[in-house]
Amino acid sequence: MTIDRLGPLDSLSKINKTDKPEKSTKEMAADSVAVSKEARHSAALRQAADMVRSAPDVRMDRVEEVKAKLRESDYIDDAVINTVADRLLDVFGV
């Protein structure tokens, strides 16, 4: 009776074995993003447009200033009346 080899018993099998690869010690570079000049400009324009849209239509500080001037009796004279009338005519296209 003969017994055959069950596994590699010869010295060549040890030579052909490779070592397990070592884990890389390199650190991964951090992610980065490059934003173009045009994109930054577009974002600034969008932000400005949003600010304009959110601003109130009536400037209360100017309204209070005009009210205070109208309370003064020496403010209203012929020059002021003529200027206001001319501007109103210009607004209405007359």
Mind listing the pLDDT tens digit for each residue in 10-55?
555 556 566 676 776 677 778 889 999 999 999 999 999 999 899 8
Distance of CA 2 to the CA centre of its chain: 82
Please state the pTM of the whole predicted model.
0.34
Tokens of 60: 């209360």
- CA–CA dist 24, 6 (Å, integer): 37
Q: What pLDDT shows up at residue 42?
A: 96
Q: Is residue 44 part of a domain?
A: no
The two three-digit tokens of residue 51, written as one number: 């600010």
Residue 92 lies in a domain: yes
- Residue-range definition of the domain harbouring residue 87: 60-94
How many structural domains does the chain have? 1
- Report how far residue 79's alpha carbon sits from residue 89's, in angstroms, rounded to the nearest whole number: 15
- The encoded tokens of residue 55 equal 């601003």
∠ CA 57-92-64, nearest 5°, is: 35
On whether residue 19 sits in a domain, the answer given is: no
Give a yes or no: residue 34 inside a domain.
no
In angstroms, the CA 25 to CA 90 distance is: 77
Is position 45 within any domain?
no
